[in-house]
Amino acid sequence: MDSNLTEIKNAHLFMEYLMCIGAKSPHSRRDDWELVDIDKKRVLARIKKDTNGDTKFFICAALLGRK
């Protein structure tokens, strides 16, 4: 997992964080998804299923204090 990403345990909180950084929410919270900053070549947010099939949410927490 990317070292710049922090796991968020709550799907609703993850969606709120996406809005805080100005990101468009994914269509589904059940599918794998990534928000990538192409210029800086890094992942800003990710939704991924683990080996048990549980959905995990990750976000770059450093972005939350910036505008």
| 17 part of a folded domain | yes
Q: Is 1 a domain residue?
A: no
Flag whether 44 is in a domain.
Answer: yes
Q: How confident is the model at residue 67 (pLDDT cuts 50, 70, 90)?
A: low
Specify if 16 maps to a domain: yes
Residues 30-58: pLDDT tens digits?
889 999 988 888 899 999 999 999 999 99
The number of distinct structural domains making up the chain is 1
29 part of a folded domain: yes
Alpha carbon distance 45, 39 (integer Å): 15
Would residue 59 count as lying in a domain?
yes
DSSP state letters, 26-43: PS-SSS-EEEEETTTTEE
* Cβ partners under 8 Å of residue 1, min gap 6: 58
Instruction: Read off the pTM.
Output: 0.85
Containing structural domain, residue 11: 6-65
